[in-house]
Structure 1
Amino acid sequence: MNKQHTFTSDRLGFRDWTASDIPKMAEINADPKVMEHFPSIPNYRQTEEFIQRMKQMYAEKGFCYFAVDKLDNNEFIGFIGICEQTFESEFTPCIDIGWRLSQSEWGKGYATEGAKRCLDYAFNELGLERILSICPTVNDKSERVMIKLEMQKIATFNHPLLKEHKHLEKCVAYEIRNN
């Protein structure tokens, strides 16, 4: 089945979510290694609710954390995209770029490739001016992607939604602007 992609990079297709993505995303979310730097592992229902929120955001805004397929075999591997963040901080509300991929796809450059293409879409198609990326300071892998994207570190802060999770509370925020 050929899925309709909103845009592509060299190896990846980015699209709106479908019901058939729910079981695979739930499987990715259930992997403790994938969710290592998050406060909890989402259950199946929470994954369904997340996908519904992404579908609604895509319909309203033209963006979301996009469902991502490998173009060579059309296999769904997770998400990469942009999303509104409204938690209370000095730099929100903002548009955040983020990614979550199946562990079997780590180390292949997909997060960086996909995030670069999403930034291009955000700046050149949507006309956005500024994108942030946020992660706990313990998440070295995500921070390395931010650096590869040539984002600039703008803050280290205590995330208000992670107060109950002391090992995750201290976060970094990176920013990139449309030049």
Structure 2
Amino acid sequence: MAIHLETERMTLRRFTGADVDSLAALHGHPDVMRWIDDGRPVPRDVVEQHQLPGILREYVDLPRGQGCFAAEGKSSGAFLGWFSLRPAASVGLNGGTELGYRMLPSAWGLGYATEGARALVRHAFAEPAVDRIVATTMTVNTASRRVMEKAGLSLVRTFFEEWPEPIEGAEHGDVEYAVTREAWFRQHGGRQRPEPRIHKS
């Protein structure tokens, strides 16, 4: 197993081809996908033929330490969801390294998303090339916004895009959150480097 990062309760590792069932269950869950893309569950064949192969390619194509990583409970070994760091590509973002996360409903409300997001921000700033972490979600997605705030990101702006298939809440726009390296260090007592990290992938 290629371990990317460990938190108190989770192991974050690289996806493999054997993870198709777990990823399909996550991306196919209507509650998970409610505020994402077109708001619809993703069909299994799309996950298997396009999304998972894309994730696997990123481990080669993206900068070291970036990509999408499966989150598993340390005690149970159960798949909980994923966390990601990538060059910002979501609609409305202009530059920076984008933080992402997607968790199964069974992991909601237990602090896993915040725990993983904080760890990835700390991990990202251990790389000298990363100066700014960004994230985005729909304005109405209050749960995701709380995770961003708890991970140390602050609201930058609310913006409005023309979506081909607007979903419920789109009329309220989307939000951008961000934290710079300098601001993150100030939040953490001015330490010059983040805490040591595990990075075996």
Q: TM-score, normalised by structure 2?
A: 0.79
Confirm or deny that 1:46 pairs with 2:20: no
Name the SS for the 2:30 alignment partner: coil
Q: Distance in 2 between matches of 1:110 and 1:99?
A: 10
Match for 1:50: what amino acid?
Answer: Q
Say which is worse superposed, 148-157 or 123-132, in terms of deviation.
Answer: 123-132
Name the counterpart of 1:130.
132
Equivalent residue for 1:168, pick from 139, 164, 170: 170
Is residue 59 of structure 1 aligned with residue 60 of structure 2? yes
Answer yes or no: is 1:80 the counterpart of 2:83: yes
Shift in Å, 1:126: 5.7
Q: Distance in 2 between matches of 1:51 and 1:126?
A: 29
CA RMSD of aligned residues (A): 1.8
One-letter identity of the residue aligned with 2:131: E
Equivalences, count: 175
Paired residue type of 1:7: L
Deviation by residue 1:69-122 (Cα, 9 ceiling, x = unmatched): 111122221101212333564x42432111111111111101000011111111
SS of the residue corresponding to residue 121 of structure 2 reads helix
CA distance in 2, matches of 1:24, 1:126: 33
Task: Return closer, same or farther for 1:45/1:85 CA change in 2, 3 Å cut-off.
Answer: farther
Could you say which structure has the greater relative contact order, defined with CA pairs below 8 angstroms and 6 or more residues apart? Answer: 2
**1:151 corresponds to which of 150, 153, 157:** 153
1:163 CA displacement:
4.4
More divergent stretch after superposition (103-112 vs 47-56):
47-56
Residues 114-129 of structure 1 aligned to structure 2 (within 5 Å): 114-125=116-127, 127-129=129-131
Matched to 1:27, the amino acid is A
Identity of aligned residues (%): 26
Larger radius of gyration: 2
Q: 1:54 to 1:159 in 2, by over 3 A?
A: farther
Task: Select which of 56, 70, 74 maps to 1:71.
Answer: 74
Q: Which aligned segments of 4 or more residues in structure 1 are displaced greater than 6 angstroms?
A: none
What residue is the counterpart of 2:35 in the other structure?
A: 37
1:178 match? 181
Matched residues in 1 for 2:121 and 2:152: separation?
Answer: 11
Deviations, residues 33-69 of structure 1 (Å, cap 9, x unaligned): 1111121221112223222222222222231121111
Contact 2:15 2:68 in 1 (8 A): no
Distance 1:126 1:53 in 2: 26
